[in-house]
Amino acid sequence: VELQKRASRYLRIGSESLMTAAEDLYQQGFISYPRTETERFRPEFQHQPLFQQFASLGDAYPEWSNYANQLLHHGAFQNPRAGQHDDQAHPPITPCKAVDPNTISNPIQRDVYRMVVKHYLACCSRDAVGRETTLSVRLGQEDFHATGLMVLEHNWLEIYRPWERWSTGQGELPHVQVGSRIQPHSLTLKQGRTTPPNNLP
């Protein structure tokens, strides 16, 4: 069910097309059994060999190889959280081998494989870290204020782009130090109007 929800949300793929593509990927050995509801990995599941496979992609697919190296060597790995469901027969839907997705000729299969890989790597990552911040900038004699999120560590969000972003208020704010000077790229003055509410029935 979760796979279908995310495929619909991120890829705009219907359930029938998704499951056909997922079954084909399973038959080819690219992903594990796709019709499971299992949400937890067994303690004996080996994540490191999979990370090593993705790291070995190198320049063929640097987004995944660089991220896998972070999980392997830079303390970015965190054991995936365990959900409630376990069918006792299959692991959560997981990539079974690392391949450059561009070598998968079918576009729907390619997108589904890419989503499964990104989701798996994100599940094995540390939480993102951020803080809500108010940014105040003086431009000439005018003061401008923005409230939003300053992300300190993207962690799992890094691999889950562009599907997931973390923002509050007026969005993600840039990293600046108190008292620092900034160079604005553009200044825009917007006009608008509000309308009164409709009559109560």
Q: Which residues are catalytic?
A: 33
φ, ψ (nearest 5 deg) of residue 168: -135, 165
Q: Give, rounded to a whole angstrom, the gap between the first and last alpha carbons of the chain.
A: 40
Cα 82–Cα 87–Cα 90 angle in degrees, nearest 5: 85
Report residue 165 as tokens: 């972003």
Distance CA 2, CA 10 (A): 12
Number of H helices and E strands in the chain, helices first, is: 6, 2
Q: What is the DSSP string of 49-93?
A: HHHHHHHTTGGGSHHHHHHHHHHHHSS-B-PPPP-S---SS-PSS
Q: Write phi, then psi, for 21 (nearest 5 degrees).
A: -65, -40
